[in-house]
Structure 1
Amino acid sequence: MSTHHLLMIEDDARLAQMVGEYLGQSGFSVEHAADAQRGLARLQGGAQAGLPDLVILDLMLPDMDGLEVCRRIRAMQGAAAQTPVLMLTAKGDPMDRIIGLELGADDYLPKPFEPRELLARIRAVLRRRTEGAAPQAQAMRFGSLEIDRDARTVAVAGQPCELTSYQFDLLVALAERAGRVLTRDQIMEAVRGRELEAFDRSIDVHMGRIRAAIEADPKNPKRILTVRGVGYVFARQQD
C-alpha cells in the first residue's frame, strides 16, 4: 500500500475532506491548505516538515489564481520547485489547461471529476517519477546537451535546464529513440500516460516548454524537430 503524502490546495473544505477520505482508503495521506498563501508557505517550509510527493492545486482560489501559484512553485529554490503538480481546472477550459502546462503543471483534471480518475492520475504522475528514477545507463550526450537519467537533470553547455518531471520523461523518451519519428500517441505511451487519454494538444505544449529549455533558438529548433502531420523526432546530430 502507498505511503505517499499529498498536499491539496483547495478552498472547498467539503471537497478536500471527501478527496482526503477517498485517497486515504488507497494509502495516501492528504494535507489540506485552504488558500494559496498557506499552500505556498507549506512548500517553502518543506525542509523542516518534509515536502509532499505531489500537489493537488485548484485553479480557483480566494487569494490567488492557481496559475500564479503554479508559477511560484516552479520558481522556488531547491527540491520544492520539482514537486509534481496536478491542477484542477474549472469546467475543463482548454485554455486553462494549456496555460497550466506551460507554467509547469504535470497533469490536469477538470471539475467535476470522478475520485477514481483523480486517483489514477495521481498514481500515473508518481509512477512516472518513480520509474524515471530507476537505475539507468550513463548520461546521454548529444553535443552540448547532457541528459542524466540517474540524477534526472538536463544541462546545455554545463548550464542546468529547468523541466518538470513529466517534461523530463518526455525528453528522455525522445532521446532514447533518437532519429525515430514518434507520433503523439507513441510519445504518450512511452511515458505510460496513454491510459489517461491525455489532451493531445498538451504534448505540443510540453514540447514547446522543452524546446525553450534546451534549444538555442526555440522557434528554429535543432534538437526536437516537428514532422508535420505525424509527430516529433529527436535529431541524432546536434551542435
Structure 2
Amino acid sequence: MATILVADDHRQIASILEEYLKKEGHTAVIAADGEEALALFAQTNPDAVLLDVMMPRLDGFAVCREIRKTSTVPVIMITARGEDFEKIMGLDIGADDYIVKPFSPGEVMARVRAVLRRMGHVQPEPRQVFVHGNLTIRLDDYEAQVGGRDVALTKKELEILWTLATHPNKVFSRDNLLESLWGYDYFGDTRTVDSHIKRLRAKLEAAGSDGWEIRTIWGVGYKFEVKPHEKPDRA
C-alpha cells in the first residue's frame, strides 16, 4: 500500500519493523545511518519515515531537518531515551510522532496507520472484533467481555489475550510473546510473560469461561484452547 523508509542502525530492530510492515502490505526501505537515509529518501520518495534518533554519520534530528526542507512526508521518530526535551526537539523540527524504546512492533504499526490515514494513503480499517462462546474482544477499544460483562484488563493483558485467542490452539512460547508484544529491546525476561498470564487467567476464570481457556503447555508456553468442533469468529 505504501513505501516506508526505516532508518535505524540496529539491524535487528530494522528487520522486525520491515517484517511487520510487509505483513501490513507495505514496502520497507532500510537505511543503516543518517546519510543513507537521506539518499534513499531522495531515491524512493517514501510515504512515511520511521527514523531512529541515535544513528552514525547523521543523527535523526539532522535527517528530519533535511527532510523538512523539501517534504511534508510523515516522520515518526524512535529513540531509546525518553527525556521530554528530546521529544520537544523532535516535534519542533517537524516530526509527526515520537516513540520511545522498548516498543511493541504492533504499536509502531498502529502509529504508521494513523499517519498514513491522515495523509489519505489508507482507508479506515474494519473494526477488529473476536467472538468465541461467551468471550468478546474489541481490540480497537481495548475491551473484553465475558458473558456480556466487562472484564477489566490492562493494555498488555488484552494484547496477550488477543494474540492467543485469534490463533486458537496454537502454542506460543514465552519468547514468542515477549518478542511480539514487548519488542526485542525489552530488558525483562520470560517471567514477565508468566506474571501477566497469571493475572489474565485469574480475571478470566473469575468471569467464567465457556468452551475456551488459556492453557499452559509445560516447558513450552501457552495457548488459547477451544473445544473440538468449535470455531471462533473474528470480525
TM-score for the superposition, normalised by structure 2 = 0.50
Which is greater in Rg? 2
